[in-house]
Amino acid sequence: MSGHEEFFHKIKYVAELVKNIPDDEEVLIFSHLDADGLTAGSIVFKSLMDIGLSTCIKIIKQLDESVINSLPSNREYIFFVDMGSGQKSLISTINNKKVFIIDHHQPELQELEGEINPHYFGIDGSMEISTSGVAYFLAKEINNKNVKLSQLAIVGALGDMQDRGERGTFIGLNSIIAKEAETAKILRTKLGLRLYGSESRPLIQCLANTMDPYLPGLTGDEGACLKFIKSLGIEPKKIDGSWKTQSDLSSEELRALISGLIKYLISTGLPSKEAEKIVGTIYIFPNEAEDSPLRDAREFSSSINACGRMGKYGLGISICLGDRNQALMELKQVIQEYRRTISRYINWILSNSESIKILSHVQAIHGGTTIDDKLLSPLLSILYTTKLFSRDKPIIGFSSSSGYVKVSARAPLELVNRGINLGLLIKDAAEKFGGIGGGHNIAAGAQIPLGKEEEFLMYLNEIIKREFDHFAPKVDNQEIHAIKRDGEIH
């Protein structure tokens, strides 16, 4: 059997286990707070409710001992969604419960009976399918009508940045999900400028709203976007005084906008190959209202991520389960607050160069208590788009939470292709200092005891240096703070 066949065989097997859960049992789902976790949790929640199971969902930052200790005695069936595969030694301490794991992180120990994880079948869970995709295939196996949940699977995959094919297409199992969604008329794709809401919104708003890719200096600032558009020789308004949308641009103006944006992104420090990705596949949900933040799949995804990061878990789940009334109004405020907070953090980093530490093989940002630990992850994901960090070493971020330090780590694809596996490295370093960690080759995270940041960083630097010395950075930075007053690293 091929890897895909074995994967679908396991999906069928676990779907049977799920269908055999007795009706009078109460099920508890734990899922993660990011877009993939909220969408995957919602898919599992909906498919269990639909077969008549009394189900409760809890969104958590992290699966740790406190979660295991708090498991209620009246719920025998526990689902860990977008978590669990990397924490199986912890899960093995659970007694007298039936555990399911729906996940795509790099697993530890042996596969469990109720566990579905693409990595066991040679399928790369960081590129080819996210947890929401795994949950979707399970839901569809439980009931074929669940093909409509492909919308959430796409939102989750985009949240985990899995649009890894040529021009932002999906690869592997994600591309199967996208095809099924297109056939069911849930999804439409086209090539174009990857700006949020580019079909219907004024150009200025599209630029200011776009979070993926993050447009430093433009995202969140309509005034700066207006100046930018004018600087490209584009008149932002129509003759009748209304704002132009992308479709109102002449082909000359559109060309000026594309090349202006690419040049702008390169000027902020992005390699040209990355900057050119501003043109790519746009994913549209035609059944969502034209002016809705849920119509463009990438915007849907960052909206759900915003809910999780701002602690509005219930709102995120409501949206995923189909609430389009009061929830949409509330969502717009949450998105605005999220964007404002992220750009405040970026400005804080830009003006606090002492918070950055550059070692020979890693670079780090110490957020202390200034950066909310729930927001460290999305912040880290966009730091390579600023000039402060170079793409020849991983970025490690720290932020202090109550009782521990939250760690997030990211590496550019170039380093992953050369063999860096952040998930394994961070797990090793976290465990060395009494913490827990894991994740993907490209993005990983951990919790470590307060005060251990420096030792953790030095150790990580050492193991990367020792094991991967052939990845030696092009610029040989000294192991000291090396920031110029204007924020440039040398």
By the criterion CB under 6 A, which residues form the site for ligand C5P?
Answer: 32, 34, 36-37, 62, 82, 86, 105, 160-161, 377, 380-381, 408, 410, 436-440, 442-447
Select 161 or 328, whichever has its Cβ closest to ligand C5P: 161
In the complex with ligand C5P, which residue's Cβ is closer, 60 or 482? Answer: 60
Identify which of residues 172 and 445 has a Cβ nearer to ligand C5P in the complex. Answer: 445
Q: Which is nearer to ligand C5P, 36 or 199 (CB)?
A: 36
Paired residues of 404 in beta bridges: 449
CA gyration radius for the chain? 22
Calpha distance 64→102 (Å, rounded)? 17
* CA distance linking residue 67 with residue 60, whole number of Å: 9
CB of 274 to ligand C5P, least distance (A): 11
CB of 194 to ligand C5P, least distance (A): 15
Q: Least distance from C-beta 32 to ligand C5P, angstroms?
A: 5
Return the axis-axis angle of helices 150-159 and 131-142, rounded to nearest 10°.
Answer: 170
The phi and psi torsions of 205 (rounded to 5 degrees) equal: -65, -40
Of 82 and 288, which CB lies nearer to ligand C5P in the complex structure?
82
The order of strands in the sheet holding 98-102 is: 54-60, 26-32, 77-81, 98-102, 115-116
Please report how close the Cβ of residue 255 comes to ligand C5P at its closest, in angstroms. Answer: 29
Q: How far is the CB of 179 from ligand C5P (least distance, A)?
A: 22
Q: What does the alpha-carbon distance between residue 160 and residue 128 come to, in Å, rounded to a whole number? A: 10
- Cis peptide preceding 107, ω within 30 of 0: no
Task: State the nearest-atom distance from the C-beta of 34 to ligand C5P, in Å.
Answer: 5
CA pair distance 443, 32, nearest whole angstrom: 15
CB of 353 to ligand C5P, least distance (A): 23
Output the smallest distance, CB 402 to ligand C5P, in A: 16
The answer to whether 321 touches 307, Cβ cutoff 8 Å, is no
Which residue lies nearer to ligand C5P by CB, 199 or 453?
Answer: 453
C-beta atoms surrounding 190 within 10 Å: 10
Least spacing, CB of residue 261 vs ligand C5P, in Å: 20
309 vs 357, beta carbon nearer ligand C5P: 309
Return the number of the residue (356 or 395) whose C-beta is nearest ligand C5P: 395
Q: CA–CA separation, 189 vs 361, rounded Å?
A: 40
**Do 403 and 446 meet the contact criterion of CB atoms below 8 Å apart?**
no
Using CA atoms, how far apart are residues 397 and 77, in angstroms rounded to an integer?
Answer: 35
Looking up tokens 């989750």 gives: 156
C-alpha distances (whole Å) from 16 to each of 55, 98, 298 are: 18, 14, 33
- What are the E-state strand segments in 263-386? 279-284, 356-358, 363-366
Give the nearer residue to ligand C5P in terms of CB position, either 158 or 225: 158
The secondary structure of residue 198, as a DSSP letter, is T
